[in-house]
Amino acid sequence: MPDREERHLGNSKTLPWRLELGASCLNASSVEVLVWAPKAHSLAVKIIGSVSEPIPLSQESFGYWEGTVQDISPGTRYQYLLNDTIERPDPASRSQPDGVHGPSEIIDPHTFSWTDREWRGMPLEQYIIYELHTGTFTPEGTFDAMINRLPYLRDQVGITAIELLPVAQCPGTRNWGYDGVYLFAPQNNYGGPDGLKRLVDACHAAGLAVIMDVVYNHLGPEGNYLADLGPYFTDTYRTPWGSAINYDGPESDPVRHFVISNAVYWTHEYHIDALRLDAIHGIFDFSAKHLLQDIGEAVHAEGQRLNREVHVIAESDLNDARIISPISRGGYGLNGQWSDDFHHALHAVLTKERKGYYE
């Protein structure tokens, strides 16, 4: 295991891209906490419903705070106490049962009983994709409610993969998903962590792959407390949806670690087969090694470790062959990209719309 400084530097040659951030269960009654909060003067874990004093975390290298919390079990809710007065959810929360402003919940990922041990994924050229929105696909609007529709999608529609619009926790109960603010927490009203795992497990049992739409170009405005903790965002660039994420400025290494860990987290903890990276033209990175290459390498390495075929797909209107060119030829090594030009041209022809993307 690399020492603490190597892990915190976010060097992909030494860092095991597993989820360390947030509250990770050590056993049934203790968790290890790791959070990047260089702006904090003090940081403690407040256990909701406990009469005990908040448990202080130790300040470590590179702006990280960490510690071990005893006598805490899965299902317990907690917050971080910033500078003795400010209560904030965990930025790497695995579950937000009360929404974006409420406390986070301890989740033990090892308690779910997967049945897809023999699933190995499939080549990308075999994907016939049905994109869907969890909240509107069924009257119930949940992960579990979709399971009964899988035979219809496979046998009647003829698909081989579903693509979920973003499910990272966002405000309220009605949202496309592109205002997510807790990247590691599946939307609570959709069914939370176990609901999503049941859906993925059922998809694999039905021979269907699962694509996860992830948003790494911005976070939504409501419930977005990352700026209180550190320079997760930058004013150097602008996006039309919100503050650009700091991938190449001062102290950007831990931000990159945060996002790359999230990509691997979906692959490892939720058995997701492919990631669709939203609007990569809004991911600004002039580092020597682009974030997209880092994500692709980390996800593919995790797939190899798990003996599963996994893919990274970009949504891009840049018409840049580098995105899907092999790393050996100077590319980022992603598996594919959406052909937005074809979509926009076809839409304009069929609808006569000539505004925005369709000018």
Positions marked catalytic? 278, 315
Q: What is the crossing angle of helices 291-306 and 253-269, to 10°?
A: 30
Residue with tokens 């309220």: 172
Q: Calculate the CA 265 to chain-centre distance.
A: 7
CB neighbours of 191 closer than 8 A, spacing ≥ 6?
142, 143, 144, 198, 199
Q: What are phi and psi of 162, to 5 degrees?
A: -105, 145
Which residue from 112, 220, 244 is spatially nearest to 169, judged by alpha carbons? 220
User: Quick check: 263 and 299 in contact, CB under 8 A?
Assistant: yes
Which residue from 295, 268, 302, 264 is spatially nearest to 280, judged by alpha carbons? 295
Residues in the chain: 359
Q: How many CA atoms lie within 13 A of 149 on its CB side?
A: 20
As a whole number of angstroms, the distance between CA 150 and CA 119 comes to: 17
As a whole number of angstroms, the distance between CA 267 and CA 297 comes to: 13
Which residue from 208, 226, 213 is spatially nearest to 186, judged by alpha carbons? 213
How does strand 161-164 pair with strand 77-82? unpaired
User: Quick check: 230 and 63 in contact, CB under 8 A?
Assistant: yes
3-state secondary structure of 354: coil
Sheet containing 209-214: order of strands:
129-132, 161-164, 209-214, 274-277, 311-314, 336-337
* Local structure of residue 326 (DSSP, 8 states): -
Task: Please give the structure tokens belonging to residue 302.
Answer: 């995790």
CA 333, 122, 110, 132 torsion-angle sign: positive
